[in-house]
A and B are shown apart, each in its own frame.
Chain A
Amino acid sequence: MNFLATFAIALKALRVNKLRSALTMLGIIIGVAAVIIMIAVGSGARAQVEAQIRSLGANLMMVFSASPSFTGARTAAGSTHTISEDDAYAIARELPDVIATAAPTLRGSGQIVAGNSNWSTGFHGVTPEYFDVREWNLAEGRFFEAAEINGAAKVVILGKTVATNLFGDMSPIDEVVRIRTVPLTVIGILAEKGQSPGGSDLDDVVLMPITTARNRVLGATALAKSRSVGSIQIKMLDGADSKLAEERVRELLRQRHRLQPGQDDDFTLRNLTEILQTREESSRVMALLLAAVASVSLLVGGIGIMNIMLVSVTERTREIGLRRAVGARSGDILRQFLIEAVTLALIGGLIGVLLGSGGAQLIGYYAGWPIALSASATTLAVGFAAAIGIFFGYYPARKAAHMSPIEALRHE
């Protein structure tokens, strides 16, 4: 007896009891939908974290200046300058076992003018380490040279967005731009990074030597005289324990700033790796929860299938007897009921895939989570449903196949 004929018998048997079949599928539908959503949410979160790492640089930690709180009123992180360039060098120098690089950064903003175009953007005074920490390459031109950093040379590297807005399609290399009336020569264009996962334009940026920013552009403020910086961007060593690295940096800075035990930090440490990990962790928890729902639901769905198949086998005992009498082998009967169970599970699985895909989109839309639907996850879920059908359908099918034809025929 061929597979197609058996499949047709199975479909017919399921059609006879439509409501019963639909209710039996419900567990599988919910289970498979949960699997689909779980994988979509999980891999979406992972993809987002990966994108974040790509845009910011891996193993990133940042230190911002923060005003000590003894005045009562606190100011925004980074707006006052309690950390210095030397802190950055000390971090890189003293903690080589956990830290790869530390880049001091000075931040400002203003109008940047080229010819009769202008653009408002933020600028960063940086050292060569910055490019390493943020994993930033050039599309054109060259990096700052050591002499330019030391000599506060009037040079600048533009982000793609800034370059396009000021110069259009023209190459801006060797052109002069002005920031706060200071003329600066463009020596390079950063490679494009696109949007950050938060939606801000990573290419809307201007970089200049930290000395240039401090001495020439930010100009005659108090901080120009000191070596203080707005932030230090730190790249941890690959594989370093990020919690430990964070503690070591904190300890070093407290020591350098001569903070007494019990006194608040005069800086803010932000461990991006940790933040990303936390975010990934929370979506993993969500995924685990869904996995629990999915497995319970699939289990219950499987038991439901087994239950209904047992009922069906009992109801159709005479049919089984008749089929045996006209020549069905016990293997034919086994296959018939097994295929019926698998069909039930597979249809449930397919409905579950549809509902799950829709559900994942809805969750993505309303919760604002990144969603990644994948063909392999769908295949996996449907395959799993089929496996459930085989597993839970086998016992009833075996029962049907091993019935004595005489007793089956005599069954009332």
Chain B
Amino acid sequence: MAAPLIRTDNLAKHYRLGETDVPALQGVTLEIARGEFVAVMGPSGSGKSTFMNLLGCLDQPSGGRYWLDEQEVSTLSDDALSTLRNRKLGFVFQHFNLLPRTSALDNVALPLLYRGLPASERHALAAQRLGQVGLSERMDHHPAQLSGGQQQRVAIARALVGNPSLLLADEPTGALDTRTGSEIMALLQQLNQEGITIVLVTHEHDIAAYADRIIHFRDGRVVSEST
């Protein structure tokens, strides 16, 4: 078995709220292998979002260590983290977070802008990913001209465009109706079968059921795992 894509060792995060130290994550040790589809569940305040932020290199841990793709992340600088996000991570958000008044194509190409690719190359790669999510016909549409499901597909194409090792999806169906939600989950499942590792945060059991492995969080700790 190859080295795991994600390895955390006693990963912890504390927030300071005035005088009190609020522990959000209290020592999480786990591994996620390449190609896995993992769902993270737990009530609000369980630390699952904090964990996702740390996995996504959006935040730095207060304690413990984190290796992504065999590279230790916990000690990297802000700029190095930005580069890492750009190269190895793709994000899918509950509210899509597309740039308004910007075409689907330009939205998808956005991560490549920060990679310094020339416009022609950016657009070619973005068009390819839009085709992969079934939106070849909608490349010039602005987010306001697209349905919720289509917007989330654009967001998924954007997450994929940089060819990341890990896709992080934070409640990707939270803003969609059940039928569209299932379509999006089916798409994610298909992408996982094509090889990408996915970590998904959700509080819906039927959404989590798409994953191979479910990790339950409570009070900043992993309390159980199921498959």
Contacts and interface: CB of A to CB of B under 8 A. Distances in A.
A16 B82 contact: no
Contact of A331 (B79, B93, B119): B79
Interface string A303-328: 00000000000000011011111111
Given A319-B99, A322-B97, A406-B58, A329 B79 contact: yes
Contacts of A323: 110, 114
Interface string A117-140: 000000000000000000000000
A327 B115 contact: yes
Interface residues of A, number: 23
Nearest to B122: A5
A331 B114 CA distance: 11
- Give the secondary structure class of A's interface: helix
Given A326-B91, A327-B82, A327-B83, A406 B53 contact: yes
Given A318-B97, A331-B79, A406-B53, A325 B91 contact: yes
A409 B93 contact: yes
Contacts, number: 64
Interface in A32-55: none
Contacts of B14: none
A327 B57 CA distance: 10
B42 interface: no
A1 B86 CA distance: 12
Given A1-B113, A409-B93, A16 B86 contact: no
A275 B179 CA distance: 89
A326 B111 contact: yes
Interface in B21-79: 53, 56, 58-59, 78-79
Interface in A275-302: none
Given A330-B79, A406-B53, A5 B58 contact: no
B18 interface: no
B114 A328 contact: yes
Query: Of residues A1, A319, A325, A409, which shows the largest number of chain B Cβ atoms within 10 Å of its Cβ?
Result: A325
B211 to A, nearest CB: 22
A409 B82 contact: no
Nearest to A5: B113
Interface in B105-128: 110-111, 113-116, 119
Given A326-B86, A327-B115, A406 B59 contact: yes
B114 A325 contact: no
A363 B58 CA distance: 59
Query: Of residues B82, B91, B102, B110, which shows the largest number of chain A Cβ atoms within 10 Å of its Cβ?
Result: B82
Contacts of B82: 324, 327-330, 332
Contacts of B78: 329-330
14 contacts: A1-B114, A5-B119, A12-B101, A12-B102, A318-B97, A322-B99, A322-B110, A324-B85, A325-B58, A326-B86, A326-B91, A327-B85, A327-B111, A327-B114
Interface of B: 53, 56, 58-59, 78-79, 82-83, 85-87, 91, 93, 97, 99, 101-102, 110-111, 113-116, 119, 158, 162
Interface of A: 1-2, 5, 12, 16, 318-319, 321-332, 404-406, 409
Given A1-B113, A5-B119, A16-B101, 17 more contacts: A12-B102, A319-B99, A322-B97, A324-B58, A325-B58, A325-B97, A326-B85, A327-B83, A327-B87, A327-B111, A327-B115, A328-B114, A329-B83, A330-B79, A331-B79, A332-B114, A405-B58
